[in-house]
Structure 1
Amino acid sequence: APSAVEQHPYYKEFYKAGGKHPFMNWIVFEVLGVFIGGLVAVLTARRFRPGVGRGPTASIGLRLSLALIGGIIGGIGTRFALGCTSGQALSGGATMAVGSWVFMMAVFATAFVTAYFVRREWS
Structure 2
Amino acid sequence: MTTISTPQIEETPEAKAVAGRRARPYVHPYAGGILLGLVLFATFFLTGNGLGASGGMNRLVVWLEDLLAPGHVDRTAYLTSMAGGEANPFDSWVVFVFIGLFIGGALSGWLFGRTKVETQGGPHTPVRVRWLFAFLGGSVMGYGARLARGCTSGQALSGGAVLSVGSWAFMFAVFAGAYALAYFVRKLWN
User: TM-score range with shorter-chain normalisation?
Assistant: 0.5 to 0.7
| Residues 1-123 of structure 1 aligned to structure 2 (within 5 Å) | 2=70, 5-6=73-74, 8-13=76-81, 14-17=83-86, 22=89, 26-27=96-97, 29-31=99-101, 33-34=103-104, 36-38=106-108, 40-41=110-111, 45=113, 48-123=115-190
1:106 Cα deviation from its structure 2 partner: 2.5
TM-score with structure 2 setting the length: 0.48
2:184 maps to a residue whose letter is F
Deviation above 4 Å: which 4+ runs of structure 1? 1-8, 22-25
Which ranges in structure 2 are unaligned for 5 or more consecutive residues? 1-68
Structure 1 partner of 2:59: none
1:36 Cα deviation from its structure 2 partner: 4.9
1:26 maps to a residue whose letter is F
1:107 Cα deviation from its structure 2 partner: 1.9
Distance 1:70 1:16 in 2: 32
Distance 1:59 1:37 in 2: 30
Distance 1:53 1:79 in 2: 28
Distance 1:102 1:26 in 2: 27
TM-score with structure 1 setting the length: 0.68
Which ranges in structure 1 are unaligned for 5 or more consecutive residues? none
Indicate how the Cα distance of structure 1 residues 3 and 97 shifts in structure 2: closer, same or farther if over 3 A, else same: closer
